[in-house]
Amino acid sequence: MCIICRNEYSKNIKELNCSGCPNVTEIPNIPGLKRLDCGHCQNLTKISNIEGLEKLDCWGCLNLLEIPNIPSLKKLCCLDCPKIVRIPHMEGLKRLHFGICMFHGEECLIREVPNISTLRMLSFGGKLVTKIPNIKGLKRLMFNDCPNLTEIPHIRGLKILRFSRCPNITEIPHIEGLKELMYEDCPITEIPHIEGLKVLDCIDSLNITKIPKIIGLRELSCEGCPKLTEIPNIAGLKELYCRDCPNLVYISNIRGLKILWCDGCRNLIDIPNIRSLRDIECRKCPWLNIHGKNSYFKGNLEKLIRIQKWSKIWVLQGRKLQRMIPSLRAIFYSPGCRGSSISQKEFDESEKKLNF
């Protein structure tokens, strides 16, 4: 039993945590309380209108019937509250999370995203949501599993945009000043060229054929894009994750790139000579050209084959490897793992050609 059930809390308490209590059914009105965590109280049905409350976390309260209208509230998290049907309009709220986690199998009954001008961060999900209001001042927008959502508003000043599994979102607005764009499993056909973008994540984009050449982009993740054939030369890029792109055949020589993961790119035939690379993963790339025009990388792969002939480990890193392959601190090349027999055959044939 929690201190609410035992009635042992102080009248001057500022922060209360009764999360996970199976016995609490109601949160009383506690004057002066600022922060309340009553998450995962599965028999909780009511939270009193606590004047002055600033933070409320009621995540996973399966039987909670409504969210109280508390004007002083700054942060509200009511994820996995399947009986909540609306979020009250609380002018002053800055952070809002609502929706249902996909593995719970429940439905979110909230239909409307409140248009609260003070919101700075909004995260939600739900099959009944059909529209996102254009909230001036919003900095972070995240949503997922919204099959009836058809468009993203052009929100000036937005810095972070993340969304996933929204089958009717086909376009991304050109939002100047956006710093991070991440989406997954959505039928987007074109990625906008947004100057100043630092992170671009377009995982499982079945219709994307081209990555925009955004100068200053630092991290690009385009894993699982079957129509992508090449990675352009993006000045300033430091991290590139392009695994499982079956038709990718070309990666530009990106000066300054430090991380390259291209596992499962079965038509990739060459790795560019990028001296700044510190981390490479190229498993399940059966046609990787180790005898091509790039004699520099050919030499490194030859050294790697010699190392792996005597060492049975997958990841090789540290001072010893750095002495043998001066330009690289780590190489991850495990052609035989996870059943990639074709790549293993290519690896074995290459070993024979080197007359070991």
**Residue spans of beta strands (DSSP E) within 18-120:** 26-27, 35-37, 46-47, 55-57, 75-79, 95-99
pLDDT tens, position by position, 213-227: 999 999 999 999 999
Contact 192, 211 (CB under 8 A): no
Is 187:169 a contact under the CB 8 Å cutoff?
yes
Q: What would the two tokens of residue 28 be?
A: 């009383």
Strand partners, 99: 79
Query: Closest by alpha carbon to 143, among 163, 168, 159, 129?
Result: 163
Report the predicted TM-score, pTM, of the whole model to 2 decimal places: 0.82
Query: What is the 3-state secondary structure of 180-245?
Result: EEEEECCCCCCCCCCCCCCEEEEECCCCCCCCCCCCCCCEEECCCCCCCCEECCCCCCCEEECCCC
Separation between Cα atoms, residue 279 and residue 302, nearest integer Å? 17
| pLDDT over threshold 80, residue 203 | yes
Of 262, 180, 250, the residue nearest 210 (C-alpha): 250
User: Per the structure block, which two tokens stand in for 255?
Assistant: 């000066």
Mean pLDDT of the chain: 83
Please tell me the distance from the alpha carbon of residue 330 to that of residue 282, in angstroms, as a whole number. Answer: 12
Q: Do 242 and 231 touch, CB atoms closer than 8 A?
A: yes
Helix, strand or coil for residue 122?
Answer: strand
Average pLDDT for 275-293:
68
Band the pLDDT of 344: cuts 50, 70, 90.
Answer: very low
pLDDT at residue 340 tops 50: no
The HSE-up count of residue 15 (CA atoms within 13 Å, CB side) is: 0
Q: Provide, rounded to the nearest whole percent, the portion of the chain with pLDDT above 70.
A: 79
Rounded Cα distance, 123 and 101, in Å: 12
75-120 pLDDT per residue, tens: 999 999 999 999 999 999 999 999 986 545 578 899 999 999 999 9
Give residue 346's pLDDT band: very low, low, confident or very high (50, 70, 90).
Answer: very low
Residue 317 has pLDDT above 80, yes or no: no
Q: Check: CB of residue 18 under 8 Å from CB of residue 2.
A: yes
The crossing angle, in degrees rounded to 10, of helices 341-353 and 295-310 is 100
Residue 246 neighbours by CB under 8 Å, 6+ apart = 226, 264, 265, 266, 267
Strand pairing category for 239-241 and 219-221: parallel
- C-alpha to C-alpha distance for 228 and 226, rounded to whole angstroms: 6
157-197: pLDDT as tens digits: 999 999 999 999 999 999 999 999 999 999 999 999 999 99
Mean pLDDT throughout 230-253?
95
How far is Cα of residue 181 from the mean position of the Cα atoms in its chain?
A: 10
pLDDT score for 269:
78
Using CA atoms, how far apart are residues 180 and 182, in angstroms rounded to an integer? 7
- 34-43: per-residue pLDDT in tens? 999 999 999 9
Helix, coil or strand: residue 95: strand
What's the rounded Cα separation, in Å, for the pair 236 and 109?
44
What SS3 state is found at 119? coil
Give the model's pLDDT for residue 287. Answer: 65
List of residues 6+ apart from 31 with CB closer than 8 A? 11, 50, 51, 52
